[in-house]
Amino acid sequence: MMTNLLDEARFFSNYKPKILMIMAQIYGAVINNNLVEGQARDVTFKIIVESMKHREDRKQLEFGVRALEIFKGRLHEWPTKAVQLFSIDNLRENYFDLLEEIRYSLEAKGIQLEIPPEYMHFANMKAQEKNRAMMKGQVPSQLYPAINPNQPRGIITQMPQEMMLGGQ
């Protein structure tokens, strides 16, 4: 069953966004709940990481981010995999706050990461930008209007009708 699930990734570019987000939740839950180990976990993680590198396909990026958000709390178990995230330009440019959340969480757990210098340079530039804006009286939500802390990014609680078995 897991082999079929992992094999399905080659068709993700043809998926409708809603279905792809459901698959992201499945992939994220597979890692988060330790349903795969060893090579199968490595392949699952690689599928997620590679999806976030697709600059031309926004839905692939969203797939990877959605899956990552589900298992980010377990990244401390795989620091060598976690550090790969900081090298993804697309992720850094579009989900910087998520990466910072992951970085601070890992550091709080005593995990020392070898974060790429280009990421740290970007992080320093963002911090300076934020400081300058705060000096002008802006608040962080004005700096990052796309971020809405009141809007949760949770797990789907109801399966769409078209996904139900038996075509109900």
- The CA distance from 8 to 24, in Å, is 12
Instruction: Tell me which residue of 153, 147, 91, 158 sits closest to 119, measured CA to CA.
Output: 91
Tell me the helix, strand and coil percentages in the chain, rounded to 5.
70, 0, 30
pLDDT given at position 140: 56
pLDDT given at position 163: 45
pLDDT given at position 127: 87
pLDDT given at position 139: 58
pLDDT given at position 166: 45
Q: Which residues of the chain have pLDDT under 50?
A: 145-168
One-character DSSP codes across 74-136:
GGGG-HHHHHHHTT-HHHHHH-HHHHHHHHHHHHHTT------HHHHHHHHHHHHHHHHHHHT
Element (H, E) at 20: helix 17-32
Q: Structure pTM?
A: 0.76
Report the amino acid identity of residue 70: I
Sequence-distant contacts of 146-151: CB under 8 A, at least 24 apart: 147/97
- The CA distance from 75 to 130, in Å, is 27
- The CA distance from 49 to 82, in Å, is 10
Residue 44 burial class via C-beta count within 10 angstroms: exposed 0-12, middle 13-18, buried 19 and up: buried
pLDDT given at position 109: 94
